[in-house]
Structure 1
Amino acid sequence: MSQAPIFPGTVSASGRPATLGVMGGGQLGRMFVHAAQRLGYFTAVLDPDPHSPAGLVSHHHVQTDYSDASGLAQLAALSDAVTTEFENVPAGALQTLAGQRPVAPGAAAVAIAQNRIEEKSHFVACAHVSGVSCAPYAVIETPAQLEAVPAELLPGILKTARMGYDGKGQVRVKNAAELAAAWGELKQVPCVLEKLMPLKAECSVIVARGWNGDIVGFAPQRNVHVDGILAVTHAYESNMPAALALRAQAATKSIANHIGYVGVLCVEFFVIDDGSEHGGLIVNEMAPRPHNSGHHTMDACDVSQFDLQVHAMAGLPLPAPRQHSPAIMLNLLGDVWFDPQGQMRTPDWQAVLALPGAHLHLYGKLHARPGRKMGHLNITGADLAGVKATARKAADILGLPGLDGI
Structure 2
Amino acid sequence: MKVAVVGSGQLARMMALSAWPMGIRFSYLVQQGDSLDPITSLGDVIYDEAFPEAEALYKALGEPDVITVEKEAVDTDRLKALQAFCPVYPDPKMLETCRHRGLEKSWVNEQGVDVAPYRRTGNRQEILAALDAIGYPAILKTCTGGYDGYGQWRIKSAEDAVALEEEVCNLDCVLEGFVNFKREVSMIAVRNAEGESRFYPLTENLHRDGTLLTSKAPAPNLTAELQQQAEEIANKLLAASNYVGILAIEFFVTETADGGEHLVVNEMAPRVHNSGHWTQLGCISSQFNNHIRAITGLPLGNTQAMKITGMVNLLGVEMDNSVLVNSDQQLHGYGKSLRPGRKMGHINLVADSYEELDAQINATLAKVYPEG
- What TM-score, normalized by structure 1, do the two folds share? 0.84
For residues 331 and 39 of structure 2, the distance between their equivalents in structure 1, rounded to whole angstroms, comes to: 21
SS in 2 for 1:148: helix
Counterpart selection for 1:360 from 331, 351, 361 = 331
Q: What CA distance in whole angstroms lies between the structure 2 residues aligned with 1:137 and 1:176? A: 17
Match of 2:122 in 1: 141
The match for 1:44 among 16, 19, 27 is 27
Q: Structure 2: how far apart are the matches of 1:57 and 1:323?
A: 31
- Give me the whole-angstrom Cα distance separating, in 1, the residues matched to 2:252 and 2:6: 30
Q: Select 1:98's aligned residue among 63, 83, 93.
A: 83
1:210 aligns with 2:210: no
One of 265, 289, 309 as aligned partner of 1:327: 309
Which of 117, 120, 124 lines up with 2:105 in the alignment? 120
Q: Which residue of 2 aligns with 1:12?
A: none
- Deviation, 1:181, is 4.4
Q: Is the 8 A contact 1:22 1:44 kept in 2?
A: yes
Aligned residue in 2 for 1:62: 46
* Equivalent residues of 1:94, 1:107 under 8 A apart: yes
For 2:282, give the aligned amino acid: A
User: Where in structure 2 are the equivalents of 1:214-293 lying within 5 Å?
Assistant: 214-236=196-218, 238-293=220-275
Q: Superposition RMSD on alpha carbons, in Å?
A: 2.4
Sequence identity (%) = 33
Aligned to 1:4: none
CA distance in 2: counterparts of 1:194 and 1:68, whole angstroms: 40
Contact kept, 8 Å, 1:353 with 1:360, in 2: the verdict is: yes
**CA 1:92–1:51: 2 relative to 1, 3 Å:** same
Partner of 2:143: 161
Kindly indicate whether the alpha-carbon contact (under 8 Å) linking 1:85 and 1:290 is maintained by their aligned counterparts in 2: yes
Aligned-residue offset at 1:126: 0.5
Taking structure 1 as reference, are residues 180 and 101 closer, same or farther at Cα in structure 2, changes over 3 Å only?
A: farther
* Matched residue count: 369
> In the aligned structure 1, how far is the partner of 2:107 from the partner of 2:370?
36
Give the Cα–Cα distance (whole angstroms) in 2 for the partners of residues 175 and 66 of structure 1. 50
Letter of the 1:387 partner, please give it: L
Question: Could you report, residue by residue, the CA deviation over 1:253-305 in whole angstroms, capped at 9, with x for unpaired residues?
Answer: 21111111111100101123454424432101100000000000001100000
Question: Would you say 1:26 and 2:6 are equivalent positions?
Answer: no
| C-alpha distance in structure 2 between counterparts of 1:318 and 1:400, whole Å | 41
Query: What is the CA distance between 1:57 and its match in structure 2?
Result: 3.2
**Is contact 1:236-1:327 (8 Å) kept?**
yes
Give the letter aligned to residue 310 of structure 1: I
What is the alpha-carbon distance in structure 1 between the residues aligned to residue 163 and residue 346 of structure 2? 37
Structure 2 unaligned spans of 5+: none
CA deviation vs aligned residue, 1:360-380 (integer Å, no higher than 9, x gap): 000011x21121101000011
Paired position in structure 2 for 1:375: 345
TM-score (norm 2): 0.91
Q: How far off is 1:323 after superposition?
A: 1.3
The answer to whether the aligner puts 1:197 opposite 2:179 as a matched pair is: yes
Conserved 8 A contact 1:202-1:268: yes
- Distance in 2 separating the partners of 1:181 and 1:74: 52
Check if 1:386 corresponds to 2:356. yes
| 2:300 matched residue in structure 1 | 318
Give the superposition deviation at 1:245: 2.6
| Whole-angstrom CA distance in 2 between matches of 1:296 and 1:122 | 29
Q: For residues 135 and 401 of structure 1, do their structure 2 counterparts lie closer, same or farther at Cα, with a shift above 3 Å needed? A: farther
Letter in 1 for 2:111: C
Distance 1:353 1:224, change over 3 A: closer
Q: Indicate the larger mover: 256-265 or 393-402.
A: 393-402
Cα distance in 2, alignment partners of residues 400 and 93 from structure 1: 45
Q: Could you say if the C-alpha distance between residues 67 and 107 of structure 1 is closer, same or farther in structure 2, counting changes exceeding 3 Å? A: farther
Aligned residue identity for 2:364: A
Q: 1:77 Cα deviation (Å)?
A: 4.2
CA deviations on 1:92-124 (whole Å, 9 max, x unpaired) are 122121121111101111010111111011111
C-alpha contact (below 8 Å) 1:105/1:263 kept by paired residues: yes
Q: 2:176, 2:272 → 1: CA distance?
A: 25
